[in-house]
Amino acid sequence: MSHMAAPPFAPSAEGRALAGVCAGIARTLGVDPTLVRLVFAVLALAGGAGVALYLALWAHAKVGRPVLTALLGLAAGSLLLLAVGLGGSAVVGIALVVGGLALALRRGGSFRPDAPISYGGVALAAVGAVLLLPGGDGPTTVVAPGAVIGTLVLIAGPMLWRLALDRDAERAARFRSEERAEVASRVHDSVLQTLALIQRHASEPQRVAALARRQERDLRGWLYGDRPLGDDGASLEAALSAAAADVEELHGVRVELASAGDCAVDEAVHAVLLAAREAMTNAAKFAQVGVIDVYAEATEDEVAVFVRDRGAGFDRAAVPADRRGLLESIERRLERAGGRAAIVSAPGEGTEVELRLPRSAA
Amino acid sequence: MKTRVVVVDDHTLFLAGVRAELGDAVDVVGEAGSVAEAVPLIKELDPDVVLLDVHLPDGSGDAVIARVAPERPGVRFLALSVSDAAEDVIAVIRAGARGYVTKTITGEELVDAIRRVGDGDAVFSPRLAGFVLDAFRAGDALGGDAELDELTPREREVLQLIARGYMYKEIAARLHLSVKTVESHVSNVLRKLQLSSRHELTRWATQHRLI
């Protein structure tokens, strides 16, 4: 029994009368040994309880045998209870409760919720509690309810506590796994798809760059703009950003997007968006440059989008009919929405498309 | 004489890439990967320009500026980030950075930006111009120094053109100004951004953080 705690006191060889138990206790408590001996003598009168207790302590301290100690301790307690005048079944009940709890405590080391439960000890205590329940004469009616309630609290309390802790942990774990699932599905729908595409097109640097830029925009919008991944219709900036990514991917150009303010997309703003996309596509196809600058500004009075390149430029009067139609479609679209488009260009000086939509018309 | 540059960035891949791109155009005299590393290094080397990542493992770029600037007022900072979070960019500019560029910038543009910052100019990317316009727009000035809390119509015009992708000399041509005047407008905007006591600027940053 090497794991047993050190005895709280050692029998004292010095000034001992019998085994030195009383002297040891007296020294530990710092009282006169005669007083301790007197207590034991009185207890010995109570049906011999003092004698049993003396032997129990001696067994505990000197011999270090816990089972013997427990049995002797129980015997001492029982004798004491009998002497006080409790009925036989009450004594057995209390003995069982105490013994059971002692067993549970020894097994678990404590009554904390994380300690292992000793089912044997708990069962023993429960049987004792049942025996106590019918009550009986005199002192039993006072002692029994207290003993039963104490037992229930000691046994059920830690179990209920542990159940509550488990449920909290379970809820937290479920929340975490739901969150992880959501992130996983978003990443799967966007980032992983893009990575797969990049691997397939590894030999086409322009396409890879465009894919990476598009994904970067997308992810950034989600991380910093609280914009759902893949949801491009949420706002002017989000929709422009998506259109820019499309143009980059299709035509292998870089679109630098800047913005001040943002607004929701209604029908008129949607017209601006379509016109902006067309302007970007035009620039990508005809300007013969690598970079297109797009700036969007949403104020209380106006939504404005500027699409600019430093490319070839053109003379409006000299452009072929098919391209002129495209330009006119930008202008007409804005007019129908209640806005205005201006296309400024000259050969060799690049092109800028200005799209303006008064907010009151929106 | 070549511009002496310290690069502060915790992404080793990016560091290597920047070093390769800058090549011989500037003199990279030191590299650091954290606020704790950067502060003593910059104080010791006293470079012309620090290329500063907005986000570092042990803090943000503005912490580096705050700890270095009082002792080395000659060092100029150019913020560099993949982050689009407007309030982070505005914070590092307000701490004293002379400009902000995104990491997608080409090597050539980066060299140009470093030189301009080294010369004492402000470098506004179109994106930063957009952020600044947005930050200054919210309503009228509430007390404070009205001169600092508002952009003049001309400054606004210059910023809008930067946002639209115009270079300084293109802006000068369009507005019939000299390039020097355009530069001084931009420097004024930078000064206002750094000194303004404007409530809206803080409120704007807070809103952006919340959204």
pLDDT of residue B145: 57
pLDDT of residue A210: 78
Sort out which chain A residues have CB atoms less than 8 A from B85's CB and list them. 224
DSSP secondary structure code for residue B168 in this structure: H
Sort out which chain A residues have CB atoms less than 8 A from B125's CB and list them. 258
Per-residue confidence band for A126, with pLDDT thresholds at 50, 70 and 90: confident
Q: Does B211 touch chain A (CB under 8 A)?
A: yes
Q: Which of B200, B196, B210, B169 is nearest to B93 (CA)?
A: B196
Rounded CA gap, A336 and A338, in Å? Answer: 5
pLDDT of residue A3: 44
Q: Does B133 touch chain A (CB under 8 A)?
A: yes
Residue A295: which of B83, B137, B164 has the nearest Cβ? B164
Q: Which of B6, B49, B50, B60 is nearest to B31 (CA)?
A: B6
- Cβ–Cβ gap B130/A259 under 8 Å: yes
The pLDDT of residue A362 is above 90? no
pLDDT of residue B140: 47
Q: Which of B183, B111, B164 is nearest to A310 (CA)?
A: B164
pLDDT of residue B198: 60
Residue B163: which of A213, A260, A291 has the nearest Cβ? A260
- Cβ–Cβ gap B164/A308 under 8 Å: yes
Per-residue confidence band for A138, with pLDDT thresholds at 50, 70 and 90: low
Task: Record the tokens describing residue B200, joined without a space.
Answer: 């809206």
Phi, psi of B59 (to 5 degrees): 155, -170
Rounded CA gap, B102 and B110, in Å? Answer: 9
- Cβ–Cβ gap B127/A258 under 8 Å: yes
Which residues does A348 contact at the CB level (< 8 Å), separation at least 6? A312, A313
Higher pLDDT, B202 or A52: A52
Residues A130-153: what's their mean pLDDT? 63
Sort out which chain B residues have CB atoms less than 8 A from A258's CB and list them. 125-127, 129-130, 163-165
Per-residue confidence band for A196, with pLDDT thresholds at 50, 70 and 90: confident
- Cβ–Cβ gap A297/B163 under 8 Å: yes
pLDDT of residue B199: 56
Predicted ipTM > 0.85 = no
The pLDDT of residue A1 is above 50? no
- Cβ–Cβ gap B131/A260 under 8 Å: yes
Chain position carrying tokens 């640097």: A205
Sort out which chain B residues have CB atoms less than 8 A from A224's CB and list them. 83-85
pLDDT of residue B202: 63
pLDDT of residue B200: 57
* Range A9-13, long-range pairs (CB < 8 A, 24+ positions): A9/A61, A10/A61, A11/A58, A11/A61, A11/A62
What is the residue-averaged pLDDT of chain A? 76
Size of interface A-B (CB pairs under 8 A): 58
pLDDT of residue A155: 66
> What does pLDDT average to in each consecutive run of 10 residues of chain B (211 residues)?
89 83 87 92 94 88 90 91 75 88 83 90 88 74 59 92 91 93 91 73 61 41
Percent of chain A with pLDDT over 90: 7
Contact B46, B71 (CB under 8 A): no
Rounded CA gap, A221 and A239, in Å? Answer: 11
Cα atoms in the 13 Å half-sphere on the side-chain side of A195: 7
The pLDDT tens digits of the residues spanning A219-244 come to 777 776 655 555 556 788 888 988 88
Rounded CA gap, A352 and A279, in Å? Answer: 9
Which residues does A36 contact at the CB level (< 8 Å), separation at least 6? A22, A23, A25, A26, A29
Residue of A nearest to B105 (CA): A256
> Hey, of B81, B131, B164, B170, which one would you mutate to test binding to chain A, going by the most A CBs within 10 A of its CB?
B164
DSSP secondary structure code for residue B182 in this structure: H
Sort out which chain B residues have CB atoms less than 8 A from A257's CB and list them. 127
- What are the angstrom distances between the C-alpha of A240 and each of A52, A123, A267, B163? 92, 72, 15, 15
The pLDDT of residue A143 is above 50? yes
Residue B126: which of A216, A225, A258 has the nearest Cβ? A258
| Identity of residue B164 | R
The pLDDT of residue A103 is above 90? no
Adjacent-strand bridge partners of B102: B81
pLDDT of residue A228: 54
Residue of B nearest to A259 (CA): B130
Reduce the DSSP state of residue B193 to 3 states and report it: helix
Phi, psi of A296 (to 5 degrees): -120, 135
- pTM equals 0.59
Chain position carrying tokens 């802790």: A165
Q: Does B134 touch chain A (CB under 8 A)?
A: yes
Q: Which of A318, A246, A334, A361 is nearest to A353 (CA)?
A: A334
- Work out the minimum CA distance from A305 to partner chain B, whole angstroms: 9
- Cβ–Cβ gap B165/A257 under 8 Å: no
Most confident of A33-37, A127-131, A167-171: A167-171
HEC letters along chain A: CCCCCCCCCCCCCCCCCCCCHHHHHHHHHCCCHHHHHHHHHHHHHCCCHHHHHHHHHHHHHHHCCHHHHHHHHHHHHHHHHHHHCCCHHHHHHHHHHHHHHHHHHHHHCCCCCCCCCCHHHHHHHHHHHHHHCCCCCCHHHHHHHHHHHHHHHHHHHHHHHHHHHHHHHHHHHHHHHHHHHHHHHHHHHHHHHHHHHHHHCCCCHHHHHHHHHHHHHHHHHHHHHCCCCCCCCCCHHHHHHHHHHHHHHHHCCEEEEEEECCCCCCHHHHHHHHHHHHHHHHHHHHCCCCEEEEEEEECCCEEEEEEEECCCCCCHHHCCHHHHHHHHHHHHHHHHCCCEEEEEECCCCCEEEEEEEEHHHC
Contact A243, A259 (CB under 8 A): no
Per-residue confidence band for A177, with pLDDT thresholds at 50, 70 and 90: confident
Rounded CA gap, B13 and A354, in Å? Answer: 39
Rounded CA gap, B98 and B80, in Å? Answer: 11
The pLDDT of residue A296 is above 70? yes
Q: Does A352 touch chain B (CB under 8 A)?
A: yes
Residue B85: which of A224, A295, A352 has the nearest Cβ? A224
- Work out the minimum CA distance from A108 to partner chain B, whole angstroms: 45
Residues A71-89: what's their mean pLDDT? 70
pLDDT of residue A136: 55
Rounded CA gap, B81 and B128, in Å? Answer: 11
pLDDT of residue A6: 41
